[in-house]
C-alpha cells in the first residue's frame, strides 16, 4: 500500500453557475511525481490550485468535499491558509520572480515565516544548489531576478518554493513558457526533487508526462477519467477517452 500524502474526496467546485470540478476522488502518493493531463479547460489547473487554497480569493468559487494533506483538512477555513501554503508550495506557468534581487526573492520567503536570520544565507545557498541554479548565479546574487533568463527565473521560482522545505510541490505547466534546454533542466530537477517532496504537475506535454511521472491522472470536462501508473495510462489505458487522448486523436 502506497503512502498517501495528498488527497481529494468527493470534491466539487463551482465558479458561479459553472460546475468546474465534478466529484473528484484522487490520492497522491508520497515522494512520487503525479502528472495531471487533459485538454485545456478540463479542470487540471483548477484542481491543482484547490490544494493550496488559491481559490480563496475568487468571490464566486464554491468548494465542496474534502481535501487532505496527511490528516489535515485543507479546505477547513479555520486551518491557517498561510501554514498550508508553506507546506504545499506552488510553481506557476509563467515564472513570477518578485521585483527584488535573486537573493531577496528567497530571503523574502524565509522572512515571512520568521526563519532565524543567521540561518538564512545557508538555506538560500542550499536551495539554489538543489535547484541547479547556484553555479550560474553565485557571483551575482544581488542582481534583479527579472534580469535572469526565463529558464533561470523558473528555477529561481522552484528554489523559492523549496527553500521553505514544503512537503508537496504543485507545478502548473512549469515548462510551457520555456525552451527545450531549459525544459530538460527543469525535468531533471523535478526527478531529483521527488526524493524529498511529493510533486503534482499539470502538463500539456505527453512526452514530458511520460519522462517524469510515476502516476498519471487524465481529466476531461471537470471529471477524473482515469488514474493509474504512467505506463498503464500510456500503453494500456482502460477507458476509450484516455486512449483517444494519449493517442493524439483529440485535445
Name all contacts of 182-187 with Cβ < 8 Å and 24+ positions apart. 182/149, 182/150, 182/151, 182/152, 182/154, 183/151, 183/208, 185/132, 185/151, 185/155, 186/151, 186/154, 186/155, 186/158, 187/211, 187/212
Q: Cell numbers at residue 59, please?
A: 468571490
- Residue 52 is a binding residue for other proteins (CB under 8 A): yes
Smallest separation (angstroms) from other proteins to the CB of 89: 7
Closer by beta carbon to other proteins, 28 or else 51: 51
Question: Binding marks (x or -) toward other proteins, 134..153, rule CB under 8 A?
Answer: ----------x-x-------
- Residue 198 is a binding residue for other proteins (CB under 8 A): no
Beta strands in 16-53 (DSSP E): 18-29, 33-37
Total residues interacting with other proteins, rule: CB under 8 A: 27
Judge contact between 129 and 156, C-beta under 8 A.
no
- Residue 85 is a binding residue for other proteins (CB under 8 A): yes
Q: Cell numbers at residue 2, please?
A: 502506497
Among 3, 72, 112, 236, the residue binding other proteins under the rule CB under 8 A is 112
CA 154 centroid distance within chain = 12
- Residue 221 is a binding residue for other proteins (CB under 8 A): no
User: What does DSSP say about strands 215-220 and 33-37: parallel, antiparallel, or unpaired?
Assistant: parallel
Smallest separation (angstroms) from other proteins to the CB of 48: 11
Give residues 89-108 in contact with other proteins (rule: CB under 8 A): 89-90, 92, 94, 96-99, 108
Binding site for other proteins (CB under 8 A): 52, 54, 57, 59, 82-86, 89-90, 92, 94, 96-99, 108-109, 112-113, 144, 146, 157, 160-161, 164
Amino acid at each position: 500500500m502506497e503512502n498517501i500524502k495528498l488527497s481529494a474526496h468527493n470534491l466539487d467546485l463551482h465558479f458561479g453557475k459553472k460546475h468546474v470540478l465534478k466529484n473528484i476522488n484522487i490520492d497522491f502518493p508520497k515522494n512520487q511525481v503525479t502528472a495531471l493531463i487533459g485538454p485545456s479547460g478540463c479542470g487540471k489547473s483548477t484542481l491543482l490550485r484547490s490544494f493550496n487554497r488559491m481559490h480563496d480569493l475568487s468571490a464566486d468559487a464554491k468548494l465542496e468535499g474534502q481535501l487532505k494533506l496527511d490528516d489535515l483538512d485543507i479546505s477547513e477555513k479555520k486551518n491557517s491558509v498561510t501554514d498550508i501554503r508553506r507546506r504545499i508550495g506552488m510553481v506557476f506557468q509563467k515564472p513570477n520572480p518578485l521585483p527584488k534581487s535573486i537573493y531577496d526573492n528567497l530571503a523574502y520567503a524565509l522572512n515571512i515565516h520568521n526563519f532565524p536570520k543567521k540561518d538564512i544565507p545557508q538555506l538560500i545557498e542550499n536551495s539554489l544548489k538543489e535547484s541547479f541554479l547556484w553555479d550560474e548565479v553565485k557571483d551575482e546574487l544581488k542582481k534583479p531576478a527579472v534580469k535572469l533568463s526565463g529558464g533561470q527565473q523558473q528555477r529561481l521560482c522552484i528554489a523559492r518554493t523549496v527553500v521553505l522545505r514544503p512537503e508537496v510541490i504543485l507545478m502548473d505547466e512549469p515548462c510551457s513558457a520555456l525552451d527545450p534546454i531549459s525544459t530538460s533542466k527543469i525535468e531533471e530537477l523535478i526527478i531529483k526533487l521527488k526524493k524529498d517532496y511529493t510533486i503534482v504537475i499539470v502538463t500539456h506535454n505527453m512526452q514530458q508526462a511520460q519522462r517524469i511521472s510515476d502516476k498519471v491522472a487524465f481529466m476531461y470536462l471537470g471529471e477524473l477519467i482515469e488514474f493509474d501508473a504512467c505506463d498503464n495510462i500510456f500503453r494500456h489505458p482502460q477507458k476509450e477517452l484516455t486512449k483517444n487522448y494519449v493517442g493524439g486523436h483529440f485535445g
